Structure 1
């Protein structure tokens, strides 16, 4: 993006009541999405030399440079969306309004939190300001809030590009904030309008179906609290998936299956062979195969394959995968994990945690992040090895155009975080190091045996290069070195057993 503005601290102001240190210096209002983000932005751009006064949300003030000239900055914030949508009073009466009429009804926008007086606050702070710089989160919702803020300040929307600018950033580190300020862009009206449309659709669909199904179910089920049975375009389909899964689990009938375990003795070690048929759901047929296998007296080695295989390093980390790992491996629920991730972001330890992308931009500075992580003894050896021997760029992931993958931006001391927050941060760091590490390389040896018309196999793995699994050991390839076999040789069968398993879970594969 073409650089549109920059902020550099000049002389500190000691009192918010003092006028700007430079007469007639233009005033720049900067608005963030949360008070904590506003504080981080002001601290980074002022070098900590600022004054703060109370308002609906705090206002941080300092002198600096903007577009090559000295300027006076005000940094404040909203608290999420300023406005929400609803129907006019004429459509609020359930009895007097047909739910179908709601789809063509007008909608009104009013303050989401009237008691916070954010609209008035922004209008007051914008008085006398020449420029507006929007520091809202860089997603569609953030773009929508940008235009809500513009509306509140009273600065004409057609001043976008002249007086109104947009800062794009993915973390609240001083480096990223300064870079965003040096490369201001324009807010995206199309994305903002997309959110307007989504809000109106959610309102009309949600209210219309809520009223319809509440009336429909009233009195039909004695144990149903039918005062309000709400419908949501997201929540109701999700509930449908949950109910469907619940019914599948409850109606599932456990089944028994049987398989053969064939054993041989080689170089003093007992080796279990895998049956090519996997399993059967008929016990008598399984017994028949058990009797057929030893009929040849020995197993003949029919094939040996040795090939080098690769376990690929992971792509960049997005929100969905972070929450999956937090839930399944760390025992942290999605809501708690997201709250922790947002807190880590606000503290400047990680990049923006709400992203669908797993691909890094071509200009991403991987070496800088690695240099930061090199000072933690938990993974310093891995990082220094990568920096000395050469790291690789992450796999080509999916770029949806929102934010880069979740990345550690600053080294966090363990004692500064709560236990679970540290574990989440530690995983984010290990995942990033894994993405720039080499793939895991291993040799796979497969030996095929035949007897009685049945095929059996044993497979061995020998790791030749751990690659990313040295920093992510839970993804390591299990080593299993096989003894030496020769194609065409025969080997005595030690025993052939039948083992029984009950298919207990609906999620278990049902193969025959």
Structure 2
């Protein structure tokens, strides 16, 4: 990949600073397989200077945007020792979180009603065709019409089979997204994957690839798993005459998808074991056959109203034997067309439309990948940075007051910084460098001009921007007057060990401290008594 090529070129330039005539050739392989490595050393190529310059352009551009914007915001708009950072990837990512939260806040739920028929022995549910009903009167009319009869006629039964193909191999973003669904933060999951790689238990964990290269010996990898807890699955796959792996949408030549390279070391349950289990099961699932379920759809008629019921039954578990579904299949009881079923219940249920869910770390990483924000190696670091800057919080991500103020202010006074459009354009220009259609100097120069234009716009509105950000920061961190000295105010501080606490702004003159309790989170401008009641005094 680009970064790997740049590392090689920088090492070569260091050596040639001592020996200018030092020859160099490049071995390119994407998998640590004997045949692939031998082929690479047999077919040596020249170093790709254009590919390395594309990576160098990214380094320079990211450094320039991050350093210049962060310095301006911190010095001109910050308060106290707070660091206000921004960047060409960080800020659009923060806006994704803020916009999703704003969409939820502006969402107006719409009521609707469903009419459910419970019929048969054993009973099963069927929904009125035409639902959901957006007015109560229409739903009540359906109830009244259906209630004229006490038995339902099975008008039609359709049976079919549905195949669920196995999931694609893991790349970095896919692994971290799945780990997030299991309750693991992106930094913890990535740190665990890196540790597993160093120990030789999985392949290189930083990759965009979702297609196994032909040089990867899948049977050898399965053979190594026969001494692991996944022995039964591995032996069953090895017994097949041929292996056909699933394929994802992204195929690159830098590194193969993430896969186990051997059995996991014996260790206590924890993050590393959980990450290894995700990787091993996904690898086995990608080599397993499709899951096949039988689908039964029945149409019932009651008092002139038609109802629809559906059920599923597993025929072949396939890859679902390795990764069980979240919800078990529920089949309909045996019924035939023309059969008359007793009515158990006719139910009217009320519900409302749901707002879009808040982003999780996993969904945010997938959105970043789709929009081309960041790289496989940096996306999880960007998300972690948003937490460390206290721009976002929670497992379901919400922008803090300072995070929302920052992205709203920049969207007004420097909109180019907050959208993926500018980042996408620069990524296209870096690709042009790698393909020889542009030079490093040209692309860096274009980026510098764009950054200068943004900075000029921000300086024009510097006073308004500074007031906006300082007010938001103060409102978020201020927790009312100190109940000890009466002169200072409780402000949120962070200890060296990472714990957040309330301290007096008159420190060191006043050393009053309060530890956060659950009720103390985000309750600024409360009275000192209320603040003290919701916090626990720290030990001396």
Q: TM-score range by the shorter chain?
A: 0.5 to 0.7
**Residues 493 and 158 (structure 1), Cα distance of their counterparts in 2 relative to 1, 3 Å cut:** farther
Structure 2 equivalent of residue 326 of structure 1: 179
Please show how residues 391-430 of structure 1 align to structure 2 within 5 Å.
392-397=243-248, 398-415=250-267, 419-430=270-281
**How far apart, CA to CA, are the structure 2 residues paired with 1:164 and 1:400?**
22
Does residue 357 of structure 1 match 2:209? yes
**Residues 159 and 355 (structure 1), Cα distance of their counterparts in 2 relative to 1, 3 Å cut:** farther
**How far apart, CA to CA, are the structure 2 residues paired with 1:422 and 1:182?**
38
Please show how residues 92-241 of structure 1 align to structure 2 within 5 Å.
139-154=1-16, 162-166=23-27, 168=29, 170=31, 185-210=45-70, 218=77, 229-241=84-96
**How far apart, CA to CA, are the structure 1 residues paired with 2:322 and 2:242?**
13
**How far apart, CA to CA, are the structure 1 residues paired with 2:18 and 2:259?**
37
**How far apart, CA to CA, are the structure 2 residues paired with 1:179 and 1:433?**
27
Residue 116 of structure 2 contacts residue 125 of structure 2 at CA under 8 Å; is this kept in 1?
Answer: yes
**How far apart, CA to CA, are the structure 2 residues paired with 1:275 and 1:186?**
68
**Residues 159 and 361 (structure 1), Cα distance of their counterparts in 2 relative to 1, 3 Å cut:** farther
Please show how residues 46-85 of structure 1 align to structure 2 within 5 Å.
none
**Residues 286 and 371 (structure 1), Cα distance of their counterparts in 2 relative to 1, 3 Å cut:** same
Structure 1 equivalent of residue 298 of structure 2: 447
**How far apart, CA to CA, are the structure 2 residues paired with 1:275 and 1:235?**
48
Deviation of the 1:418 alpha carbon: 6.2
Deviation of the 1:278 alpha carbon: 4.0
Secondary structure in structure 2 of the residue aligned to 1:428? helix
Question: Which of the two has greater helix per residue?
Answer: 2
**How far apart, CA to CA, are the structure 2 residues paired with 1:359 and 1:453?**
53
**Residues 354 and 451 (structure 1), Cα distance of their counterparts in 2 relative to 1, 3 Å cut:** same
Does residue 486 of structure 1 match 2:336? yes
Residue 314 of structure 1 contacts residue 435 of structure 1 at CA under 8 Å; is this kept in 2?
Answer: yes
**Residues 408 and 151 (structure 1), Cα distance of their counterparts in 2 relative to 1, 3 Å cut:** same
Residue 31 of structure 2 contacts residue 215 of structure 2 at CA under 8 Å; is this kept in 1?
Answer: no
Secondary structure in structure 2 of the residue aligned to 1:363? coil
Deviation of the 1:280 alpha carbon: 3.0
Residue 298 of structure 1 contacts residue 451 of structure 1 at CA under 8 Å; is this kept in 2?
Answer: yes
Structure 2 equivalent of residue 459 of structure 1: 310
**Residues 382 and 284 (structure 1), Cα distance of their counterparts in 2 relative to 1, 3 Å cut:** same
**Residues 349 and 393 (structure 1), Cα distance of their counterparts in 2 relative to 1, 3 Å cut:** same
Unpaired segments ≥5 residues, structure 1? 1-138
Q: Structure 1 stretch 175-184 or stretch 483-492: which is displaced more?
A: 175-184
Cα-to-partner distance string for 1:295-354 (whole Å, 9 max, x where unaligned): 35543323211112111111211111111111112x211011011111111111111111
Cα-to-partner distance string for 1:369-409 (whole Å, 9 max, x where unaligned): 11000111x22122112212345311232313332110101
Q: Which has the larger radius of gyration?
A: 1
Residue 168 of structure 1 contacts residue 185 of structure 1 at CA under 8 Å; is this kept in 2?
Answer: no
**How far apart, CA to CA, are the structure 2 residues paired with 1:309 and 1:423?**
31
Deviation of the 1:185 alpha carbon: 4.6
Residue 326 of structure 1 contacts residue 337 of structure 1 at CA under 8 Å; is this kept in 2?
Answer: yes
Please show how residues 25-44 of structure 1 align to structure 2 within 5 Å.
none
Residue 30 of structure 2 contacts residue 254 of structure 2 at CA under 8 Å; is this kept in 1?
Answer: no
Secondary structure in structure 2 of the residue aligned to 1:374? helix
Structure 2 equivalent of residue 389 of structure 1: 240
Find the partner of 1:496 among 338, 346, 349. 346
Deviation of the 1:182 alpha carbon: 6.7
**How far apart, CA to CA, are the structure 2 residues paired with 1:458 and 1:368?**
47
Cα-to-partner distance string for 1:204-228 (whole Å, 9 max, x where unaligned): 444554566668x74xxxx966976
Query: How does the TM-score come out when normalised to structure 1?
Result: 0.62
Secondary structure in structure 2 of the residue aligned to 1:302? strand
Deviation of the 1:166 alpha carbon: 4.0
Deviation of the 1:180 alpha carbon: 6.3
Secondary structure in structure 2 of the residue aligned to 1:493? strand
Structure 1 equivalent of residue 145 of structure 2: 292
**How far apart, CA to CA, are the structure 1 residues paired with 2:146 and 2:196?**
60
**Residues 447 and 339 (structure 1), Cα distance of their counterparts in 2 relative to 1, 3 Å cut:** same
**How far apart, CA to CA, are the structure 2 residues paired with 1:196 and 1:163?**
20
Structure 2 equivalent of residue 507 of structure 1: 357
Structure 2 equivalent of residue 373 of structure 1: 225
Find the partner of 1:438 among 279, 289, 313. 289
Residue 312 of structure 1 contacts residue 439 of structure 1 at CA under 8 Å; is this kept in 2?
Answer: yes
**How far apart, CA to CA, are the structure 2 residues paired with 1:363 and 1:176?**
6
Query: How does the TM-score come out when normalised to structure 2?
Result: 0.59
Question: Which of the two has greater strand per residue?
Answer: 1
**How far apart, CA to CA, are the structure 1 residues paired with 2:304 and 2:81?**
64
Residue 249 of structure 1 contacts residue 505 of structure 1 at CA under 8 Å; is this kept in 2?
Answer: yes
